[in-house]
Amino acid sequence: MTILFVCSQGKIRSRTAEILAVRGGMDARSCGTDADAIVPINDHLVREADIIVCMEAHHAVTVREFMHAKGKTIHVLGIEDIYEPFAPLLVATLAAKLNATLPEVSQAMTVIRELS
């Protein structure tokens, strides 16, 4: 199962989630919806993802514009762009919000957090 995490720039929220998920044994990628994102969202990333996790609702709107988004499971976490990379509150918020819809991802992130 491949998870695609999406935020605006692809460098703080989604990148933090991707790295935590990968370190927890998950197959994950991250990208951003802005044109100048570190890794801009593209059809290949959307096509390869089994699950797409967006940080905000407007990211999900952008994801749905891609042809291969049809039929994909898209989750919106509602996490604002107010954090620094790997900030403890960001990590805790990601784990808590993911626990409601993707508990296996949340659990993987929590294990890594506890080992740090």
Model's pTM, two decimal places?
0.94
Query: At residue 112, what is the residue type?
Result: I
Q: How far apart are CA 12 and CA 17, in angstroms?
A: 8
The percent of residues above 90 in pLDDT, for the chain, comes to 91
Give me the domains of the chain, ranges plus CATH numbers. 2-115 (3.40.50.2300)
Helix-strand-coil split of the chain, %, nearest 5: 45, 20, 35
pLDDT digits (tens, 9 = 90+) for 58-114: 999 999 999 999 999 999 999 999 999 999 999 999 999 999 999 999 998 876 544
pLDDT of residue 109: 82
